[in-house]
Structure formats: structure tokens, C-alpha cells
Amino acid sequence: MKITLDDQARAFPTQISQMIGQNIDGCYQCGKCTAGCPVAYTMEIPPHEVIRLVQLGREEEALACHTIWLCASCETCTSRCPKNIDVASVMDALRVLAFRRGRTEAEKEITLFHKLFLQVVGRFGRVNDLRLMGKYNLLTWNPFKDWRLGQKLFSKGKLKLTAPPVKGLKELREIFQRVQASQAEKS
């Protein structure tokens, strides 16, 4: 069924299409993306319905839903879609838009985790689990979370106080700075 939207509602699917480089009008709600999604059971709105919200220009609901933050970017949905719709990229685009507009209320802790992850990688060139999880637990007021597990991993040498240096750290930091500058321009 062809969907007719007014200009205001049309702006949202158009923006998402521009961000992912693909038109998603072709989605006919077969649900194959949702059927293959390994975390669909945790979502209040399954992936195919998020696509529908975008098609209908229902921006508020799409940006406020938990689903976009629970998506693990595994791309199973994308590989299963009979219409070749890149569902995983739609989820990405929705997260980016939600983040730019400060609409992270649905899953504040997941957003915090993303931020800290990028901070650690941007600074050291790789993930340092101890630093990442320590900071995350402190900022979520749960400093002793996973303490016992951490102790076990530490005693087996699986957690390190410092991460080994990486090659090309200077170049990596420059990439991060360029991305941050470009994000700041867009927001």
C-alpha cells in the first residue's frame, strides 16, 4: 500500500534515507528482520515496526524507543531482508539522530557506555576493560558491580591494569578529532 505523508512527516524518512544512502519505502512489513534479530525479545518495538515508524514519519516515537539502543548492530536483519533494506543502518541513523538531539532518555546507561567506550579507544587506541568498566560502574553509582568476576579475571591475567601500546596511536587520535569536529558541525 502506498503511503502518503504531508511534507512535515515526509522530512523524517527522507532524512533517514539520506543518512543511510537508501530509500526504505520498499519495506512491506514481512517481519523477517525481526524474526532473525537475536535481541528482539528485549525490545518493546520490534525492528520491522521501527522501520514502519520511520516510513510513517513518526519521528518522536522512533527516536524515543528503547529498541534503537538495544540493537547490537549484528546486521542479521539486513542480511535477511528480501527487499535489501539495511535495517541495521536505519538503527544506526536513529541512534545518531537521537544522540544529536539529546534524546537519549530511553537508555541513558547504554549511551554512557558508548561514550566511555569511544573515550577509552580514542585515548589509548584500544579498549582497556578495567578502565572502561571501572569508570562506567562509578558513573552509574554501582562501583562494586562485577567485583568478584573482575577479581577472578584479574587473577587469571585476563584483566590488565594497562593496555599494551598500539601502533599508529597519533593517527588514530587525529581520526577521532576529525570525526568529533565533523559531528560538532552537524549538530
Tell whether residue 77 is a contact of ligand SF4 (CB under 6 A): yes
Say how far apart CA 120 and CA 101 lie, in whole Å. 23
Say how far apart CA 51 and CA 109 lie, in whole Å. 24
From 31-39, 111-119, 138-146, 148-156, give the range in contact with ligand SF4 by CB under 6 A: 31-39
C-beta of 46 vs 125, nearer to ligand SF4: 46
Whether residue 124 contacts residue 163, with contact meaning beta carbons closer than 8 Å, is answered with yes
Q: How far is CA 186 from CA 18, 124, 168, in A?
A: 14, 26, 27
Taking CB under 6 A as the criterion, the residue among 12, 13, 32, 45 binding ligand SF4 is 32
Tell whether residue 42 is a contact of ligand SF4 (CB under 6 A): no
Taking CB under 6 A as the criterion, the residue among 12, 16, 20, 27 binding ligand SF4 is 27
C-beta of 71 vs 133, nearer to ligand SF4: 71
Tell whether residue 127 is a contact of ligand SF4 (CB under 6 A): no
Tell whether residue 53 is a contact of ligand SF4 (CB under 6 A): no
Tell whether residue 89 is a contact of ligand SF4 (CB under 6 A): no
What Rg value do the Cα atoms of the chain yield, rounded? 19
C-beta of 29 vs 182, nearer to ligand SF4: 29
Judged by CB under 6 A, the number of residues near ligand SF4 is: 28
Burial 142-168 (b: 16+ CB within 10 A, else e): eeeeeeeebeeeeeeeebeeeeeeeee
Burial class of residue 16 in the structure, from the number of CB atoms within 10 Å of its CB (0-12 exposed, 13-18 middle, 19+ buried): buried
Tell whether residue 54 is a contact of ligand SF4 (CB under 6 A): no
**Residues at the interface with ligand SF4 (CB under 6 A):** 27-33, 36-37, 39, 47-48, 51, 71-77, 80-83, 85, 87-88, 91
